[in-house]
Structure 1
């Protein structure tokens, strides 16, 4: 059994335990799957410890295990007081080098358990919380901040905008805060035939396919997108596929079904585990978020070489440069105009798609990301 001193001197392989609230559908969960697929090449042994059962099923557990990660599900309710001591015992037994926490619940539970197990902690911020919230949500956010500041050796912001938000809400400069954007596995290849997928989505010949892939929550801006689509002319050759589920699924579905302008143009796909294939079948990607830290969908869109139309919020401008797409304010008229311009200008789409691919390879390829993360882990061990 290795001692603490052994771990300090033998850094060829690090055992990193990622702590997260659950392994249901979500962006942070997708990031862990990507991490698992590239961990071994970076000299990292990976374990994922999920504190609570997932609200909705997904394939994350199977994907993580297939990539070689160990998965432990504690099965406890949110904020169960037994979570900290139970997790601390697991960390001691696992001979861990670094604990990496994701999202507020795991920041608190994982951070406190790591202190008890005497293991250094890294925390990743996955969201920018600007939409009005209740007193309980504010209390949880404040608790996460205090624990994170007290125990995390490094806190990772995914974008410059997220760093500014975090320092503003936390009351000043955070010395342990660094900016390190997530990466993604190269989505250049897929086992799905794009033409067959377009037929499955009933995309008419000569029409453009736009894809939006995100959880259906208020901050993701789906209603803004539908407002914009209502403003587009009926003869514009465009089909819009919405991939994802969430609390707004039924409401959005009812709105689409009730409006013939939307019913003929919008495809509601629900949860999909083939987002990369959808992107390859698409002509453009639309992302209408009202707030967003660093949406993985847009990183994948770069990798697939697809032009982007997105709102200029949060960390999105860090991803979408002027040569890879169009950034617009949170305004349905502006969003509609940008979508129409992209649909009617195939040459612009080709040029932006090529630039998107180059940008992915330089900034967001998973190998680049993992190399940077490994350096962070080495610093804190």
Structure 2
């Protein structure tokens, strides 16, 4: 008799819609795991599969709404039946996975990609979710050291720093930089770029406060913000009322081109522990000014100008200083290239995750 080969590892990746960084990470992870012979099913809203094409990696996809109602939890529980391991990404997806796996011994790995944020009564609710997830998960992976520290403080049995790459970076080959700058209205003036959903946590109110100081420069720099969100009307009203040199571009699919055209990249605030724009900026050798919050220092080291969060004067001063200091800008470009070289590759990210999976699913030898 020939020995039977072991069955391939069966994993379920749970995504709750997620932000661009976590969704792209799940796609990259799915592709890498499938290439290594792992069976992968991604449970996510159908819109996420349309946007990130999880099935194109060879993974299966099951539509599970972002809600935590009984029907959605039951759908996720059914999808996880027979899985060797479940890996949930983000707080809300992790909480749904905890509910779906109740009473089962299936190992649960959760990755926290960003800092949960809310105000008032909802903030207390999120703290309760965090504690429930941290104490139930087999392993918590945090994308920054402060996320790992938080998981440990609230009761995680095993919390580790995650290796997370920047998947699928675009390129700006054949870019007509001058043409794009002309289209944006940045001929003969500096172009500053911010990217992200238009919500309060992104710090765009601080950015607009800082932009008031730039109106007096000659020529005044133009700030362009790529993204959509609930704060668009309020931000646009301020821009018009205060005659600020800021444009809201709406949703854009040409981040690489926008970065290549920009003189500086700005991250005035973020929920992401590993800001996608910060990573793209360093890869593209674009000097970065960022609020010192949410793990950004872990990510960029000394390769960016970091300013106190919610301090428009410090943000304005850092930008003006950089615009007048070409040697410092070149120094940041070189530091950015060196810093980006220290970040994990997609292969290294998949290898780390797979080592965690093997640790949790392989039979332990008897002592």
Pair in the same fold by TM > 0.5: yes
Question: What is the distance in 2 between the residues matched to 1:303 and 1:254?
Answer: 34
Aligned to 2:268: 288
Tell me if 1:114 matches 2:101. Answer: yes
Which of 151, 160, 164 is the matching residue for 2:145?
A: 160
Aligned to 1:251: 234
Question: What is the distance in 1 between the residues matched to 2:128 and 2:101?
Answer: 19
> What per-residue deviation string (whole Å, max 9, x for no partner) do you get for residues 30-65 of structure 1?
332343454445554433212x576xxx78535333
Question: What is the distance in 2 between the residues matched to 1:181 and 1:83?
Answer: 30
Aligned to 1:268: 248
Aligned to 1:20: 15
Which of 53, 56, 59 is the matching residue for 1:69?
A: 59
Question: What is the distance in 2 between the residues matched to 1:197 and 1:374?
Answer: 42
Aligned to 1:342: 322
> What per-residue deviation string (whole Å, max 9, x for no partner) do you get for residues 296-332 of structure 1?
221222222222100111201011222x111111211
Q: CA deviation at 1:68?
A: 3.6
> What per-residue deviation string (whole Å, max 9, x for no partner) do you get for residues 224-272 of structure 1?
0111111123314522221111221111112112222x1xx32211122
TM-score by length of 2: 0.85
Aligned to 2:365: none
Q: CA RMSD in A?
A: 2.8
Q: Tell me: CA distance 1:38–1:348, structure 2 relative to 1, closer, same or farther (3 Å).
A: farther
Task: Considering Cα pairs closer than 8 Å and 6+ residues apart, tell me whether 1 or 2 has the greater RCO.
Answer: 1
Q: Tell me: CA distance 1:255–1:69, structure 2 relative to 1, closer, same or farther (3 Å).
A: farther
Tell me if 1:303 matches 2:283. Answer: yes
Aligned to 1:134: 120
> What per-residue deviation string (whole Å, max 9, x for no partner) do you get for residues 279-299 of structure 1?
233222110116642222212
TM-score by length of 1: 0.82
Tell me if 1:47 matches 2:36. Answer: no
Question: What is the distance in 2 between the residues matched to 1:287 and 1:36?
Answer: 29
Question: What is the distance in 1 between the residues matched to 2:146 and 2:131?
Answer: 17
Aligned to 2:364: none
Q: Tell me: CA distance 1:30–1:370, structure 2 relative to 1, closer, same or farther (3 Å).
A: same
Tell me if 1:78 matches 2:67. Answer: yes
